[in-house]
Structure 1
Amino acid sequence: MHHKIVNLAPTGMIPTREMSAHVPLSIDEIVEDCRRCAERGAATFHLHARDANGVPTYDRQIYARLIGGIRETHPDAVICVSLSGRTFTEFSERSDPLRLEGDLKPDMASLTLSSLNFSQTASLNAPDMVRRLAEMMAEREIKPELEVFDLGMVNYAHYLADRGLLKPPYYFNVLLGNVATAQATPTHLAAIVSSLPTNSLWCGAGIGGAQLTANAAGLLFGNGARVGLEDTLWYDRERAQPATNVGLVDRVVSLAQTLGHTIASACEVRQMLALAPHA
C-alpha cells in the first residue's frame, strides 16, 4: 500500500481557455503537460482529445498523436483514453480510440459504469453501451479504468465481473464531490470502498473543491490519487488561485511524502495493474 499511484487527468471535456489560462488543449500542450507531470511523479495519464478548435473529439488519430508524443519521452507511462458519454452517443464514436494498434494502442480506457448528472450536463452511459465498450476492451486487451461516482456503479462493476467482462486486478477512480453523486465524506467513501470487488485498486478523485480531500483519502486509505484540471481549475475552495497540472501533481506528491508514502513509478503501476510492459 505504500507505493501510491498519481493519475493525471489534464484536460477533460469541459475546461476552455476562457475558464483557465493553464488548461492544455492542443496536442502539443497536452503532451508537454503530461511530460512535465511525468517528471514529477505522475505515472498514469487519463487523456481527453481536443480538435484544432479546442472542441472535444473522439478521433483516434488525435489520440494517436497524444499517445505517441508522451511515449516518445516516457515509454513506460500508463496511458488511458477517455470514452466519455458527455458529448458522443454512438458506439462507433465512443469506441474509436480502442481501435489504435501497436505502439499507439492505449493501456487503458475509461468506463463510466452508469449514467449521471454533472452540474450543467449529463453523462449518458446506457447498460448496452457500457457492456459493449467493456466487451471491446476485453477483446483488445485494454484494461478498463472504472469510473465510479456512486454506490450503484460499484454494483454494476460486480455485475460485469461476474459475466467475465472485467478481469482482476480491477482499477477504480472513486470520484467524489460532484453535485448529483457521492460526496467527499467518510460515510460516502466507506460505502463505496467497502463494496469494491476483491483484488481492486482505487484512487481518490475530487470534483472542484473536493479534490484535495478526495486525494488525501486516496493516499491515506487507497492506492493513490487522481489529480488534474479536468476535475478542478482551482487550488483553493475560495477559487482565488488558479491551478496548473504541474502544481496539482506537486501538491499531491508532497502530501504523499508527508504521509510517509512513496510514489509508484510507471513500471510499478504496470506491475500493480498486471499491464504488459510497453514494447
Structure 2
Amino acid sequence: MSRKVIVTCAITGGSTKNLAKHPGVPKTPTEIAQASIDAAKAGAAVVHIHVRDPESGEPSNKLELYEQVVKKLRDSSIDVILNLTCGMDGIIELESVAPLKISPRSTLRAATERCLHAVKLQPELATLDCGLLHLGEAIYVARTSDLREMAKLMQDAGVKPELECFDFGHIEIAKQLVKEGTLKGQPLFQFCLSTGYGAPFTPTVLQAMKEVLPPSSIWGGFGCSIDEMPTVAQIVNLGGHIRVGLEDNIYLRRGVLASNADLVENAVGIIERMGASVATPAEAREMLGLVKRG
C-alpha cells in the first residue's frame, strides 16, 4: 500500500500584500468557505483558515467572522478537517526605542484572546506559532508563557495544536513544551519555509529540521511563492505531509493566477507521481489522532 500524505490548503492568509495582484483571494466568510469546499473536493483533507474584513480585505481575528466560516463549512455536505489560525493579534511595532514608544499599529493581545475563537468553536486543529519572528520593523511575539497558556486552552477544548516552526529555534521551543508535558499526545509539527522571516527552503534545511524532531512526531511543511511545489516534492520524498494554498503562493505557473483548488490539484499530481497517495479526511483524522467535529 502506498504511503498516505495529508494535504492542507491555506485558503487566504493574514497578509494584504497579494490582494492587489490577485482579485480572487477570498475575503468574505462566504468566499472563504466556498474556497475551502472547492479545495476539499480537489483533495485537501485539511483547510487552514484565516479571516478578513469583508469590505477591506484587511486581516482580522474577529470571532464572529470565524463563526460564519465554520458554520458554513459544518453545514455543508463536505467532510474536511478545520484548522483555525491562532497566529493573529501578536504584533508589536515600535515608533521609537529611546524613549520606548509602541506604535498604535501594534495588535498584540493576551494569549486568551488570541485563541478565543479556537476554544469556542473547537476545530480539530489550531496553529501555535512557536517563537518570536522578525518582520522587518515589526515583531511577532510568542513568549514561552504565552505558548503554554494557549496550548492548555486549546487542548482543554479538545483542539490539537499544530506547531508552526519558522526556524530551528522554534523547533527547540516546541520540543521543550513536549518534554515538560504541556503538549499532550503525538506532536504535530509544521515547517514554515521561505516566508522571508525564517528558514529558507532548501533540501538541506528541510532534512536538518526533520532530523531534530522528537522521534514520535508527525510533521509536514510548506514553501512560499516559487518554492511551493518544489517543497511539496521534497517533503513527500522525506516522509512528511504538505500544505499549499493562496496564503503561500498565488500563481499556478509564471503569470497565471491560481485558485486554491488549482494548487491542491497540482500538489495531488506531484504526490501521486511520486508513488504516494492522498489521505482522505477520515484517514487524516486517524493518522493525527483527531475526533470528527460538527
Q: Which residue of 1 aligns with 2:10?
A: 9
Pairwise CA distance, 1:146: 0.8
Q: Which residue of 1 aligns with 2:76?
A: 73
Determine which of 90, 98, 117 is the counterpart of 2:109. 90
Rounded to whole Å, the distance in 2 between the matches of 1:251 and 1:121 is 34
Rounded to whole Å, the distance in 1 between the matches of 2:283 and 2:244 is 19
Matches within 5 A, 1:119-158: 122-158=139-175
> Are the equivalent residues in 2 in contact too, given 1:75–1:278 (CA < 8 A)?
no
Q: Which residue of 2 aligns with 1:112?
A: 129
TM-score by length of 2: 0.87
Which structure 2 residue ranges, 5 or more long, are not aligned?
A: 92-105
Q: Which residue of 2 aligns with 1:41?
A: 43
Pairwise CA distance, 1:74: 4.5
Change (3 A) 1:61 1:224: same
Matches within 5 A, 1:106-255: 106-118=123-135, 122-236=139-253, 239-255=254-270
Change (3 A) 1:209 1:124: farther
Pairwise CA distance, 1:52: 2.8
> Are the equivalent residues in 1 in contact too, given 2:186–2:218 (CA < 8 A)?
yes
Q: Does 1:269 align with 2:284?
A: yes
Matches within 5 A, 1:16-55: 17-53=19-55, 54-55=57-58
> Are the equivalent residues in 2 in contact too, given 1:201–1:222 (CA < 8 A)?
no
Secondary structure class of the residue paired with 1:46: strand
Aligned length: 274
Question: Which digits, 9 at most, give the CA deviation of each residue in 1:157-188, with x for residues without a partner?
Answer: 11001121112322121111123321111221
Change (3 A) 1:213 1:52: same
Q: Does 1:257 align with 2:272?
A: yes
Rounded to whole Å, the distance in 1 between the matches of 2:32 and 2:265 is 17
Question: Which digits, 9 at most, give the CA deviation of each residue in 1:96-118, with x for residues without a partner?
Answer: 21232xxx421111101001134
RMSD: 1.9
Question: Which digits, 9 at most, give the CA deviation of each residue in 1:174-209, with x for residues without a partner?
Answer: 111123321111221111101111221112200222
> Are the equivalent residues in 2 in contact too, given 1:182–1:188 (CA < 8 A)?
yes
> Are the equivalent residues in 1 in contact too, given 2:245–2:260 (CA < 8 A)?
yes
Rounded to whole Å, the distance in 2 between the matches of 1:74 and 1:206 is 31
> Are the equivalent residues in 2 in contact too, given 1:76–1:277 (CA < 8 A)?
no
Rounded to whole Å, the distance in 2 between the matches of 1:79 and 1:37 is 12
Secondary structure class of the residue paired with 2:236: helix
Question: Which digits, 9 at most, give the CA deviation of each residue in 1:18-77, with x for residues without a partner?
Answer: 231121110010110110111111011110011232222222221121112112225642
Larger Rg: 2
Rounded to whole Å, the distance in 1 between the matches of 2:77 and 2:213 is 31
TM-score by length of 1: 0.91
Percent of aligned pairs with the same amino acid: 30
Rounded to whole Å, the distance in 2 between the matches of 1:42 and 1:25 is 20
Secondary structure class of the residue paired with 1:209: helix
Secondary structure class of the residue paired with 1:235: strand
> Are the equivalent residues in 1 in contact too, given 2:126–2:159 (CA < 8 A)?
yes
> Are the equivalent residues in 2 in contact too, given 1:270–1:276 (CA < 8 A)?
yes
> Are the equivalent residues in 2 in contact too, given 1:204–1:222 (CA < 8 A)?
no
Rounded to whole Å, the distance in 2 between the matches of 1:12 and 1:171 is 20
